[in-house]
Amino acid sequence: MVADTREQAQEQISELVKQLNGWAHRYYVEDRPIVEDYVYDKAYRELIELERLYPDLILEDSPTQRVGGQILSGFEKKEHEIPMLSLGDVFSKNELEQFDQRLSKMLVEKVDYSCELKIDGLAISLIYKDGVFVQGSTRGNGVIGEDITENLKTIKAIPLRLTEPVTLEVRGECYMPKKAFVGLNKKREEQGLPVFANPRNAAAGSLRQLDTRVTASRQLSTFIYYLMEPEKRGLRTQTDVLKQLHNWGFKVNLESQQSKNMEEVFKYIDEYQTKRADLPYEIDGIVLKADDLATHAVIGNTVKVPRWAIAYKFPPDEQETVVRLIEWTVGRTGTVTPTAVMDAVQLAGTTVARASLHNPDYLKEKDIRLLDTVKLHKAGDIIPEVSEVVLTKRPANSKPIEIPAECPVCNAKLVHLDEEVALRCINPKCPALVKESLVHFASRNAMDIMGLGPKIIEQLFAKQLVSDVADLYHLTFEDLLKLDNFKDKSANNLLTAIDNSRHNSGERLLFGLGIRHVGAKVAKLLMVHFKSLTKLVAAEEKEIAQLDSLGQVIAMSIVTYFNNTEVKKLIAELADVGVNLEYQGPNTGASVNNYFSGKKVVLTGTLDQLKRAAAKEWLEASGADVVGSVSKKTNIVIAGHDAGGKLTKAENLGIEIMSEQQFIEQMEAVK
C-alpha cells in the first residue's frame, strides 16, 4: 500500500528494507529461505514503488541498490593497510605433520587448529564504517589491489549493513557456485564466446566487469573468514572470529571445524575429499590455521605467507581414457560444437564418457585426435574436460580432426565470424534452430504475438505445421484446432494476434529475426537510418559500420546473415504474406538539427506530461544513448519532480539539466 504522507513513506521504506534484507540473509547467507518467492517479490515491488515516489528516501542498504547499472570507467588502485598475504601450499599429509611439528617447537606446546575448506575463488577485502559497507577491493599483488566496491555491492551474500554499527575490515573469498558456472559457460558457448576454464576464472572475470549489471547477473557469492585486529573485539581464537563474523551478518563457511590433533585434521581432510564433488561450490583443499590468535603474533609471517597457516591441496582426480569419436552438434543459437566420445571412466563419483571440446579453436589448441589417449578431469568438479593428450601413446598414423564446412543437421554452409571462436549455422530453416527462433520471433520485444509461447510452438513444430517464422502467417483455423486444448476461441485469438503482428514497425521484425549482435536498440537504430528492411539487406558492410555506436563486428554479422540464400528467401516469404518491412516510428533520426544526437542522457524523477518509456523511445530514435546513472560522461539530465540523488550529482558535476517542459520544447523543435 502506497503511503499517504512522506513520513509514512519513510517508515514503510525502512520497514521493507529491514524485512527484505532479513529474508535475503536467510536465503543467500544461511541457505534457509523462510518465505516463498512471490512473498519476497510482492514486498520488493512495494519498495520499488515507494522509492520511485520518494527517491531521496532511498537507504544505502536497500536491496534495490544491488541490481547494478553503473558503467565504470576503470578501477582505482587501493593500497592495503596490512598486506593480504597468500598461503603456503603442501601436497601430502606428511608435509602437514612437518608443519605441525614446526609450530609445536616454536610454541613449545601442542597446537589446536581451525580447519577450513579452501574455496577456489578470488580474495577480497571489505571495509565497513559504522556498520555500513563503504569499500571493497581485490587482493591484487597483496599490497595494492583494485577498488571494486560497486561490483561487490551487487553480491547478495555481502551485507550492505551489519547487525551492529562497527567499523572494521574483513577479508574472504568471492566465488562462483558450480550451478552458476555451468549456466554461464553454456550461455557463452551458445553465443560463440570463449568459455571459462573453471569457476575461479569466471569469478575473477565477473568481478572486473566495468558494467556492474554484468557482475550482478553472474550469481557470485562469498565466504568471509578473516577479521583485522580481532583482539580489539575481545576475540581469542579463529573459531571465535568465525562465530562473530556470522553474528554480524557475514556469510561464513559452516563446514569449518576445530581440531585438537593431526588425527582429527586428517579425518577432516578425508571427509571433505569424499564430499568435495557434492558441495555447491568448488574447493581445492583445506586450510589449517593455528586457532589461538595470540600465537599468530608470536609466530609471525614471512614476506609472502603467514607461518601460522598452511593450505593442503587435494591431489587431482584425473583419469586416462581413449577418444573414439568426435561428434558435431548444433545448439539452439546455431553454434556447432565438437564433443569427444571416449571410453567410460569414473570421475568424482560419476561415470564419464563424453566431454565438450567447445569450439574448433579449442580442438586445434589441444590437438585432440581419434584414438588419442587423453587425461580427463572435471573442471569445477562438474564439467568433464580434457586437460591434455598423452602424446607418447598417440598412434603413428593419427591425423588432425577435419573441421566441418557444412551444418551436420541441414548441410548449410557454416560461417565463422571474425570475432567469434564458434562455427555457426545461420540457416533460418535449420531444424535445430527453428523452434528457438520461433520463440524469439513471437516474444514481447520482437513481433509480440500474444499467446504464442514455447509449448504451443513445440506442438506446431512437432505436428509439422511450421518450418520457419514465415509459416506462422500461413496457419489456418483448422491447423490450430489440431493443437492440444485448443478450441474455437483460443484458435481465433491466436490467429488475430498473428495477423496483428503483420503491421508492426520494421524494427520489431528485424529484432525478431535473431541476428547475432542485433538487439532491440540496434534494430531500431538501423531501421531509423535505412527506413526499410529491403534497403538494409542491400546495404554494404562499410555503410552499416559507419553508423554511430555500431562498428565492424555488428556490420559483419548483419551482412553475413543477409548474404545467406535461405535468409533472402525468408524475407521474400515474409513480404509475400504481408508482413511490414518498413520503419513506422517517428522520423527523428540523428541529424544536425537534433539536439540529442550522440549524447548520453539520463531520465530521473517523475514526469507529469510524458510516460518515461515513451520519452526513452523518442530519445533513442533521435540518436541519444539513454543511460541509468549519472557520470562525468553524461551530457544531459532530464529531471522531473522528486529527482533526488541523480539531480544532485548532475549539479555537482556541472552537467546540463533540462526540465520536462524544456525537453518537450526540444522535441517540438525537431518535428
Give the pLDDT score at 50: 86
**Which range, 19-33, 216-230, 323-337, has the best average confidence (pLDDT)?**
216-230
Q: Are residues 438 and 483 in the same domain?
A: yes
Is residue 270 left, alpha or beta, with left meaning phi > 0 and alpha meaning psi from -120 to 50? alpha
Helix, strand, coil distribution of the chain in percent, nearest 5: 40, 20, 40
Give the pLDDT score at 54: 83
Decide if 30 is inside a domain.
yes
Q: How many whole angstroms separate alpha carbon 238 and alpha carbon 309?
A: 11
Say yes or no to pLDDT of 588 above 50. Answer: no
Which residues belong to the active site?
118
Q: Are residues 561 and 616 in the same domain?
A: no
Say yes or no to pLDDT of 554 above 70. Answer: yes
Decide if 379 is inside a domain.
no
Domain limits for position 631: 600-669
| Helical segments of 56-109, H only | 93-107
> What percentage of the chain exceeds 70 in pLDDT?
94
Say yes or no to pLDDT of 175 above 60. Answer: yes
Q: pLDDT tens-digit profile of 133-150?
A: 999 999 988 888 999 999
| Helical segments of 396-447, H only | 431-442
Q: Are residues 572 and 641 in the same domain?
A: no
For residue 573, the domain's CATH number is 1.10.150.20
Q: Are residues 119 and 255 in the same domain?
A: yes
Q: Are residues 633 and 540 in the same domain?
A: no
Q: What is the number of residues in the chain?
A: 671
For residue 259, the domain's CATH number is 3.30.470.30
Say yes or no to pLDDT of 122 above 60. Answer: yes
Span 527-542, average pLDDT: 92
Q: Which of 65-74, 75-84, 463-472 has the lowest mean pLDDT?
A: 65-74
Give the pLDDT score at 241: 97
Span 263-273, average pLDDT: 95
Q: Are residues 121 and 22 in the same domain?
A: no
Q: Are residues 60 and 118 in the same domain?
A: no
Give the pLDDT score at 70: 63
Give the pLDDT score at 68: 61
Decide if 327 is inside a domain.
no
pTM above 0.75, yes or no: no
Average pLDDT over the chain reads 87
Number of domains composing the chain: 4
Q: Are residues 121 and 248 in the same domain?
A: yes
Decide if 233 is inside a domain.
yes
Give the pLDDT score at 211: 83
Choosing from 585, 617, 644, the residue where a domain stops is: 585
Say yes or no to pLDDT of 576 above 80. Answer: yes
Decide if 555 is inside a domain.
yes
Decide if 514 is inside a domain.
yes
Choosing from 535, 557, 585, the residue where a domain stops is: 585
Q: pLDDT tens-digit profile of 414-472?
A: 987 666 778 888 887 788 888 878 888 998 888 989 889 888 988 998 898 998 899 99
Span 70-76, average pLDDT: 70
| Helical segments of 348-445, H only | 360-366, 431-442
Q: Are residues 127 and 198 in the same domain?
A: yes
Say yes or no to pLDDT of 3 above 80. Answer: no
Q: Are residues 117 and 168 in the same domain?
A: yes
**Helix axis angle, 431-442 relative to 454-462, nearest 10°?**
140
Q: Give the cell for residue 236.
A: 581469542
Question: What letter does residue 606 receive in the DSSP assignment?
Answer: B
- 532-537, Cβ contacts within 8 angstroms, sequence gap of 24 or more: 532/506, 532/581, 532/582, 532/583, 533/506, 533/509, 533/571, 533/581, 533/582, 534/571, 534/581, 536/510, 536/562, 537/562, 537/568, 537/571
Give the pLDDT score at 669: 60
| Residues whose CB is less than 8 angstroms from the CB of residue 292 and which lie 6 or more positions away in sequence, other chains included | 111, 112, 236, 237
Span 195-204, average pLDDT: 85
Q: Which band of pLDDT confidence, cut at 50, 70 and 90, is reported for residue 128? A: very high
Say yes or no to pLDDT of 400 above 80. Answer: yes
Span 108-131, average pLDDT: 93
Decide if 1 is inside a domain.
no
For residue 46, the domain's CATH number is 1.10.287.610
